[in-house]
Structure formats: structure tokens, C-alpha cells
Amino acid sequence: MSKARNLISVFLFVVATISSSSALAQAYAGRYAMDTGAGNAVLEFESEDAGQYSGTLSNAGFTVGMRGAVVDGVLQGGVDDGSDTVVFVAEIQNEVLTLTLLEIDAAGEPNPESAQVLVFQAADQDAQAPAADVNFGEVIINGLSLTDDQRSQFAGEYGIAPLPGNYWYDPRSGLYGVSGYQAFGFMLPGHEFGTPDRNASQGDTGVLVNGRELPLSEWLIWSYMLGAPIQIGSYWLDEQANAGYEGVALPIVNLYVAAQQNAYQGQGGSGENFWSSRFSAGNYDSGNTRGYVSVPGHGPVGYGF
């Protein structure tokens, strides 16, 4: 467990002194349930001293331990599955707990592309069922749950429905990711799912792209593509990979061109990922009538073929 806990503290957040720990300690303690279609998965947390938590995740007769700490209101830690290669982040909004599980890659970093997002609802302590009727299949994008009509439109456009989870989405560029993390992939731009807030990726660099602050891991990738460190400031990015200063219409760079000029092959990320495939080669034709995009919970999906 020590390895996973050290990695989560280095890569995701710096675990510092927990302030107001008595208030934080009550935020996650309890039992949560999620309908898997074949029964309920049950997540339980108990509070310990100084904002620390221990708990279990049980499903289909299999149980793993979990241990973590609250930092800035977010519970993060490691899964005790015997491998020390899985970490988690949990957030609560309106009695809905979103649990994100990530694998540790060969470089010792949590790999955002391995993210699995599970959505739990607070449940009675003496029952395996939820405390109230809840739609466990919620797809939350930019803090809003998709309606049935939006899901149907999504499935009609991509040929597949998004998996339940808590995501952010940038309608100008098409970038999206799991809430609290760097970009995971590109969807088509222009969906009316609202806009991400500044802290959608828990950014810490002072570099904002379409209003979302980049985390260090994503800032490194962008800097590799551009061939120089990105300076603190606000920028825009469109669906054609043009980028410029916020408030100035004229672009200053095109990421496709910059990536090719700098021979970008995925540096700064976890090996082969959507950044290298998107910007070193591109993943749609010149008219954007055919190509590949990424669908939350599924990965690459073709369109126009």
C-alpha cells in the first residue's frame, strides 16, 4: 500500500497537513451502493484520525481494501489488491459518490487512459440496497446529468452510449476527461453539455485553455508538442487544433503543425496515447467527415465510415 499511496501523493496532489480534519472526516464515512446489473456493488468507508479513511469495495463475492486521505475535500489513496498498482479518487456531490480507479503504469504514474469511473449512491447501513430510488446509470458532464434525450442523441451520433461516470467536456475543442483529471480524448465539438469550470482537471499550472486550468501532467504534454514550455496565461483551442491568446481571434499556433515540426511522438504522456495519435498523425480527414473520436468509458469510436 505504501507504494500506491506515495504515487498518488506525488502525481495527483501533494498530501500536506489536513486542515479542518474533523469536518472532513465525516464527509465520506458510510455505505454506498451501485447497481451492476447483476446485483449491488458495495463501497464502505470508515473515518480515522486526521482525515484518513479505510474501507472496502465488494462485488460478486470479491472484496478489496482501500485506504486514503482527504485533500481539498477529495478522498484519494490506494487499493489493497496485493499489487500496489491501483489508485483511486472519490468525490461526493448530493449523496452521489463518484469513484475513479486508475492503474499505475510502467513509469510509476497513474495512467488516465485506464480510468474506470463508478457512480455510487448513499445506502442504508443495514442494507445492501440504496436508501432511495436512484438512477445509477448517471452520466454527469460538466456537473450536469444527461437527460434520456441527450443520451439517445449521443448514442445516435456515436453509435454507442457513454458509460456512467463524472466527466468534463470542452465544447470548443472537443477535449474531455474524467472529472479531476487531465484530458482523456477528443469527442466531436459543439455538444450542448455546458462548459468545464477552471478546476475540472484539478489544474495547478496557471495555464488555462478554454477556461480549464491544465494539470502539470497535461501541461508537460502540450509543452512537448509546442517545443517550449507554455507560459502562464489564458488561451483558446478550437476543433482544428488552432490555438491563441484568450480575447484575441488570431491564432498563434496550430498544434498539428507544431507537433510535426517538433517530431512529437507521445513525450510527456504514458507511452502511446490519444495525444500522439491525434497530433503526430491526426485522426480524421481534412473535411472531418470520417475519423475517430473517443467516447466516455469506451475509447476510440469511428464515425462517417
Q: What is the pLDDT along the chain (305 residues), one digit of tens a residue?
A: 444 433 333 333 322 322 333 334 447 899 998 876 667 788 999 988 778 899 999 887 788 899 999 887 788 899 987 777 888 888 887 677 888 888 888 777 777 667 777 878 888 655 444 444 444 467 889 989 899 899 888 888 888 877 777 889 999 999 988 888 888 788 889 999 999 999 998 899 999 999 999 988 889 888 888 888 999 999 999 988 899 999 999 999 998 888 888 765 554 544 334 454 455 444 444 444 444 455 555 554 443 43
Task: With respect to residue 150, please indicate whether it lies within any of the assigned structural domains.
Answer: yes
pLDDT at 5: 38
Answer yes or no: do 147 and 282 share one domain: yes
Answer yes or no: do 186 and 62 share one domain: no
Task: With respect to residue 298, please indicate whether it lies within any of the assigned structural domains.
Answer: no
pLDDT at 97: 83
Q: How much is the pTM?
A: 0.57
Q: How many CA atoms lie within 13 A of 46 on its CB side?
A: 5
CATH number, domain of 98, equals 2.40.128
The conformation of residue 290, written as its DSSP 8-state character, comes to S
- Domain extent, residue 260, equals 139-287
Which H/E stretch holds residue 285? Answer: none
Answer yes or no: do 148 and 282 share one domain: yes
Task: With respect to residue 129, please indicate whether it lies within any of the assigned structural domains.
Answer: no
The 3-state DSSP class for residue 139 equals strand
Answer yes or no: do 168 and 270 share one domain: yes
Which H/E stretch holds residue 252? Answer: none
Answer yes or no: do 114 and 150 share one domain: no
Answer yes or no: do 244 and 281 share one domain: yes
Which H/E stretch holds residue 44? Answer: strand 40-47
The total domain count for the chain is 2
Cα separation, 282 vs 256, in Å, equals: 7
pLDDT at 43: 92
Answer yes or no: do 173 and 241 share one domain: yes
Answer yes or no: do 64 and 181 share one domain: no
Q: What count of other Cβ atoms lies within 10 Å of the Cβ of residue 59?
A: 16
Answer yes or no: do 195 and 266 share one domain: yes
Answer yes or no: do 191 and 272 share one domain: yes
Task: With respect to residue 220, please indicate whether it lies within any of the assigned structural domains.
Answer: yes
Cα separation, 10 vs 144, in Å, equals: 30
pLDDT at 125: 58
Answer yes or no: do 156 and 263 share one domain: yes
pLDDT at 257: 85
Answer yes or no: do 143 and 283 share one domain: yes
